[in-house]
Structure 1
Amino acid sequence: MAVVKALAEKGHNVTVVTLYKPKTYHENITNVLIAPTDQLQAKFDAAMAELSSSVKSNFIQNMARLLNANRAAIDMQFGAFVDRRFTALYESNDNKFDVAILGYVFNDFQVAVGAKFKCPIIMTWVQQSMNFVDHFVGNPHEISYVPTMMNPLATGEVWNFKKRLQNFFLTTTSRIFSFALDYSMKGYYNKLVEMDSSLPPFEDMKRNVSLLFCNSYYSEGPIRPLAPATVLIGGIQVKDKPDALPKNIADFLDASHQNGAILFSLGTNVKESYVKAEAFQIIYKVLSPLKQNVIWKWGDLANTPGNASNILYQKWLPQGDILAHPNLRLFITHAGKGGMVEALYHGVPMVTIPMFADQPTNSKKIVSEGYGVEVDKLEITESILRNAISEVLTNPSYANKVKTFSRLYRDRPLSAKESVVYWTEYVIRHRGAAHIQSPLVKMNYIQSANLDVYLLILGTLFGVFKLLLLVAGYLWKRFRAAKRSKSKKE
C-alpha cells in the first residue's frame, strides 16, 4: 500500500484489489474489497495458529507448516481472482490499465493478470531478492555468498567452508520448496486456463515480469549481482514526515521523556489466540514493573493480560509514527521485515521474538549486526526476557549501532518513493521495458548453468582421451612388434 500511495500522490489513478480493508486512503485510490469466505478465513487462521505455535519442531515440519499456511492463503487469493468484482475490471471496455503491480508471496498463478489486462507486470517482494523471486528478472544466485531466506549474512562477512556448505544445502532445500510451489501454482493457473483458453502458457507468463521491487537496500546487504530490472525500495513504507499521533498515544509518549518508552507488537498476522496465554502472562510480568511506559498492541481490549499504569493497550497502532517518537527507547518485535525496517530507519534497538517465515532470519540479522537481542519463543521465561530488555536498554552499543546504520540507510540518491514512481513510469513509457530484461529469464536450467557446454567439453576431452589411448595402444603394439622382429633377427 505504500507503493500504491506513492503513485497516487504523484497523480496516478490506482485500483487496489484486496482481501482486507486497507488503512491507506487517497482520492486517487479505488479499493475493491473482496473479503474471503468465513470457511477460507478459518482455514487460514488455523494454519497461522499452527505456524505460531510454541511446539518445538524440526526444519521439515516447519517447511510443511509454511506450505500449509501458504496453501490456505492462495485459496483465499484464488477465490478473489475469480470473483465477479475482480473479473469485471478486465471485462469492462471502459477500463484500461497501464501496468499491474502484484504483491508476491509464493502466488505465481497471478501472472495471468498481465494477459487479462493486456499490460506489463511489476512484482513487489517484502525482502531482499532471493531465489524465490530471482527467476522473474534473471538475477544470478551465487550460492557461495548469496544467502537464502533461512540463512542470514552479516554485512561484509565472508563465509568459511562450514557456512558455505550450510548455504548450499539450505539453497538446495529452498529450490526443492520452489519446485513444489511451482507445481502447485501451475495447477491453479491451469484452472484459469480452463475458464479462459486464450491464456498463454504459464511459463510464458512468468517471463512477462518487467520489474521487481524489493523491500531492501544495498546498505542492508547482501552485496550480490542484480539485474537492472531489480529495484531496491527498502523503507518504502516509512513516511517522509511522521503523522500526528492519536492524542492518547501522543500524551502517553510525551509523558515518557524521563525514562523513555517501549513498543511491543507481534505484527498483524499473529493473533493473541495463536500464542499460549502463559507466554503473554510472562511478558506482562516483565513489562508491568518497568519504569518505562509500554505501548502494547493487543486485539481484544476487553481481555488484556493485566492492568498496569505503565502499559497502554491498543488494538491498532500507527507503528511507524510511534517508532519515530524521540522518547521511544526499545521495540519488542516478532522481527517482521516491515517493523524491522521502520526500527532501523528511526534508529530504535530491538528485542526480537521471531515466530515463523522470514522472521527467524531477520532476527539473526539484527543480532549479528548488533542492533538487538533475540528471545526464543519456545524458551521464553521471565528472567530471559527481563535480561534481554535490560541488556538493550542499559548497553548503549545497541542504540549506537542502529543509529549509525540509520544514517547509512537514509543516504541514497533517490528515496524509496521516488524510485517507485520513476521506475513504474519508466515501465509504462517503454511498454514493459523489455530492453532491460536479462537473457537469463528466457533460459532453462541447463542453459543458464552451461551444463550443455560443460557436457560438450567433457565429451570432447573424453573423446580426445580415448583417441590418445588408441594411438598409444597402436604405437605400443608397433613398438613391441618391432622389438620382437629385432630379437628374431639377432
Structure 2
Amino acid sequence: MVHVCNYRFMTSPETELFRKYVDPDFPRLEEVASTCPLVMVNFEELYALPRPMLHKVVYIGGLGITERSVGQFKVIADKASNIIVFLFGSIANASEMPSSWKNAFLNSFRSFPHIEFITRYDGEDLQSKLPQNVHTYEWLPQTDLLPLITHAGHNSIIEAVNAGVPMIAIPLFVDQPMNALLAEKRHFGILLQKSQVSEEALKEAIKTLTEDESYAKAVKHVQKMIQKKPSKPEELLVRWTEYVGKFKDLSNLTPYSVKLNFIQYYSIDVIFFIVLVLSLIIIATFKISLFIVTCLRKLFLLKKEKTS
C-alpha cells in the first residue's frame, strides 16, 4: 500500500513534470533512484531505530547545523531562568490552530511565570490575550532558541538533539508521528498526541520536562555521542562525493532487488501460491470431513433401521 501511494501521489506526478519540461523520454524517478550509485541520508543513526541497511547508504545527519546564538532575543534570555520555544515548523502556522488549542497553550504558559515562552505567530488575534511571559514573532531562528515544543519535524529533531535539549513533541502529519515516538523511546522527548492537547496535558508535559532531569541527561548523552563520532557529516559528504566522482560506477553496492518488479519484490506470486495451496487443503479437508460425516450418518441410520 505504501509503495502504491508513493508511486501514485509522488513519483508518478514528478516523473510527468520531468517528461514535460526536461525530456519526453525521461525515465521514471524510481528507475533513476535505483541506479543512483550512493544515497546520503540526512538522519542520525545514533538515535534512529536499528534496521538492516545497504552499504550504499551514508548517514550525514546534522549537516549544516550552525552554532547557537540568541542574538536579538538576548534581552529575554538574560531575564529568564528558562526559555521554551513553541514552533510547528514552516508549514503549520500557529495562527491557524483551533481556538481551543490557542487557549490551551496560552493558559498553560501563563501557569509558568518563571519561564519565557517564545513562538512564531503572524496573527493579531492574540495580542490582547498574551501573558507577560509569552512573546510572539513573525519569524524565529529555531536553532538559536531551544528547548522547544515542536511538531517533531525531521529537522526539528536533528537540531534539538544536536543542541542537547529535550522536547515536547506534538506530531501533526507525515513522518512526524514516527519522529515523536522515536524521541519518546530514546527518552529525550515527551509525546503528546493531537487528540490529547489540553491545558492540563500541556502543564503536565512542561512540568515534567523542566523538572525531570532524566530527559536532559538522555539527550545530552546522545549529543556527546554525536560530537565524538569519528567522522563528521561534512567530512563524509566531501569524501564520498570525491569517491563517487573518482570511481563513478558503484554497481557492486546495488542490491538485486532493484531489478525486481512489484509482484516479485513483495513476493505476491509466492503469497498467492501459498494461499491457493492452503485454500485447497481447507476445501479438501472440509469435503473429506463432510464425506465422513455423511457416511457415518448413513451407517447410523442403517443400523437403527435394522434394530427396529
TM-score normalised per structure 1: 0.50
Whether contact under 8 Å (1:334, 1:353) holds in the other structure is yes
SS in 1 for 2:145: helix
Q: In 1, Cα distance between the equivalents of 2:14 and 2:252?
A: 30
CA displacement at 1:413 relative to structure 2: 1.5
Q: In 2, Cα distance between the equivalents of 1:422 and 1:369?
A: 30
Count of residue correspondences? 270
Residue type at the aligned position of 1:296:
T
1:458-469 superposed matches below 5 A: none
Residue type at the aligned position of 1:246:
G
Structure number with bigger Rg: 2
Q: Rate the CA distance shift 1:279–1:209 in 2: closer, same or farther, 3 A.
A: same
Report the equivalent of 1:238. 65
Residue type at the aligned position of 1:414:
S
CA displacement at 1:383 relative to structure 2: 1.4
2:161 is the counterpart of 1:339: no
- 1:377 alignment partner, one of 194, 198, 201: 194
Cα deviation 1:466-488 (Å, max 9, x = unaligned): xxxxxxxxxxxxxxxxxxxxxxx
CA displacement at 1:454 relative to structure 2: 11
CA displacement at 1:371 relative to structure 2: 1.6
Q: Rate the CA distance shift 1:286–1:453 in 2: closer, same or farther, 3 A.
A: closer
2:2 is the counterpart of 1:177: yes
CA displacement at 1:448 relative to structure 2: 5.6
2:40 is the counterpart of 1:213: yes
Identity %: 25
Whether contact under 8 Å (2:15, 2:29) holds in the other structure is yes
Q: In 2, Cα distance between the equivalents of 1:187 and 1:336?
A: 24
Cα deviation 1:377-424 (Å, max 9, x = unaligned): 223221111111111111111111221121123231211122122222
1:116-195 superposed matches below 5 A: 176-184=1-9, 185-186=11-12, 188-190=14-16, 192-193=18-19
Cα deviation 1:187-222 (Å, max 9, x = unaligned): 553565466344346654343322222222231132
Q: Which runs of 5+ in 2 are unaligned?
A: 273-308
Residue type at the aligned position of 2:205:
A
Q: In 2, Cα distance between the equivalents of 1:366 and 1:442?
A: 36
Residue type at the aligned position of 2:180:
S
1:352-363 superposed matches below 5 A: 352-363=169-180
Residue type at the aligned position of 1:208:
T
Whether contact under 8 Å (2:161, 2:222) holds in the other structure is yes
Cα deviation 1:228-282 (Å, max 9, x = unaligned): 221111122422x33x4333x12211222xx221111111110134320221121
CA displacement at 1:303 relative to structure 2: 4.8
SS in 2 for 1:262: strand
Report the equivalent of 2:303. none
2:122 is the counterpart of 1:296: no
SS in 1 for 2:174: coil
Q: In 2, Cα distance between the equivalents of 1:292 and 1:204?
A: 52
Q: Which runs of 5+ in 1 are unaligned?
A: 1-175, 324-329, 456-490
Whether contact under 8 Å (1:265, 1:334) holds in the other structure is yes
- 2:91 alignment partner, one of 269, 275, 282: 269
Q: In 2, Cα distance between the equivalents of 1:367 and 1:438?
A: 33
Whether contact under 8 Å (1:210, 1:437) holds in the other structure is yes
Q: In 2, Cα distance between the equivalents of 1:320 and 1:338?
A: 10
Residue type at the aligned position of 1:245:
V
Cα RMSD, aligned residues only:
2.9
Q: In 1, Cα distance between the equivalents of 2:98 and 2:211?
A: 30
Cα deviation 1:421-445 (Å, max 9, x = unaligned): 2222322333354443333323335
